[in-house]
Chain A
Amino acid sequence: MPQFRMTGRGLWITVLIVPPLAFVALFIVYPIISAFAYAFFDWQGLKRLDFVGLENFHTVLFVEPYRSWTINAFKNNIIVFFALMVLQNGLGFILAYALWRELPGARFHRIAVFLPVVLSTIIVAYLFKLFYHPLFGVVNVTLKNIGLDWLAQPWLGQSSTALGSIIVAQAWHMVGFPTLVFLAGMQRIPSEILDAVRMETESEWVKITKVVWPLVAPSATIVFTLLFVGAFNWFELPYIMGGLDGSPFGSTDVLGLYFYRTAFGNVSSGQQDFGLGSALAVLIFIFIAVIAAVITTRLRAREIQL
């Protein structure tokens, strides 16, 4: 084993590495480990009671009403993930392709598409709450003005449309991000490869599916993985637009809200249970970590070195 000597260089490296490592340990590693630990105890408010083993995990997964709540929130997260996969990543890919092909106005749209990403989530949430307002919202007013009165409805006020409406707001907010990542991926494709494809076909569909899509695989890995993590940690938009209870009737409830409610209590009932909350957090963490690892390795395998 090489001996570690405190040379000038070694000192420099130590000085640069220790503070961020300490920061990560204190604010990321320590909370995760303590959440693990909390999940095995019974709690009364902030007071820790007895060690209960896997009891908390058992409760959130198998004991009513927690069981139904967990399943409902998890199901909604899955809907959010797949809907955003289409609305955010799918649309992002198409937008990136259009921007990349330098259609008229590409310079303007390149900025316009990314602008919402910069907006604060709070602002986006309130903006869309106003858009969806049943009486004065721009959505319903527009529908009435173009004669589609029958389509106007209380978007956020009924179970059938609430989650979808929030998903649309989320997609509008973040679509610029996958667009940007895909665009960067496309711009890395050498122009002669595109010329070579044009010599063989004029079908945009063939160009996209057989050449562009396989060659932007690294971008796809990034946006798929981040979307997966983001979708299962989703909190801000449903919190502001649907409320802490996932109103109406739990139709916008997601794991993030459910965890928060369970651990810290909600507005109406101050009931809080750190043990159950931590158990939920641990389950969410493990689920995301395992699936994200699988997605990443699977997608990495199909990436090509340009």
Chain B
Amino acid sequence: MTVNAPAVPPAAPPSRPLRGAGRRRSSVLLAAVRTPRGAIGLGMAAMVVLAAVIGPLVAPYAPDALVTLALGKPNGQFLLGGDYLGRDVLSRVLDGGWVLLVMAACATALGIAGGALAGVSAAYLRGVSDGIIMRAVDVILSFPQVVFALLLLSLLGPRLWLITIAVGVSHAPQVARVLRSATLDVSERDFVKAAELQGMRPIKVMAKEILPNLISPLMVEAGLRLTYSIVVIAGLAFLGFGQPPPAANWGTMIYENRIGLSVNPWAVIVPAALIALLTIGINTFTDAFARVVIGVDRRPEQAALIDDLGQELSK
């Protein structure tokens, strides 16, 4: 050992125990929930989801039973009155959410998975793959989302799985764009080169080295795409591409009952408000998450300043 090689490992900075290994992804979510913005957003979305999930179990009447007057005013028995055929609006509202939510979630998952695969491999592989993938993306992008979905549906007929796939596919290009630029940034970093020098296969480099560093843009993108999915799917239902009648669906309910808007407005307002509450809630939470992420995924030069100063500030 030379004279100056340290005999003992350098003392750990006193702040290390505070920054334990237990933080990371889960705690980013937790930190987002702890911000007022995140708590409000999550609360709004959770209320709607809860209503949609346990709704079918607690609905007082069957959604398709003709139990009251057509467009009847709300009263003690029928809290939200009747719809244009005389079915209980409350029961239909409680019953009409879960299919929408499941479809939106599936469409989002599909869009994120497809978009991530396309975007990450385009950016990492570069060259010909990049060209082919991104031109394909451009082609899909050139169709407006709703028009693209309508086109597919008019060709193949309104099937729920088809709606889900159509919406998912129409998301993929947007996701691919965002993740491609995020990947371009990450794949230039030296740890990716280090993995290549270990002889790692490209697919493994993407999955093990790059993807974990994209969690934050992925989560933000997922939140954003989920709100779009809900709006597009509800919108398609409004246009008549949804579950066939007499099934209840928030989008369909708005369409069916708009003729009675002046008689029993609740049949339109409540489903519309639920959709609004859900999308605003998810968006707000996504926003809170994105803000927390910026504080976590900082760049080295910012890290120096934040490490030196920010920790003390946040105490």
Does B associate with A? Answer: no
B interface, CB within 8 angstroms of A: none
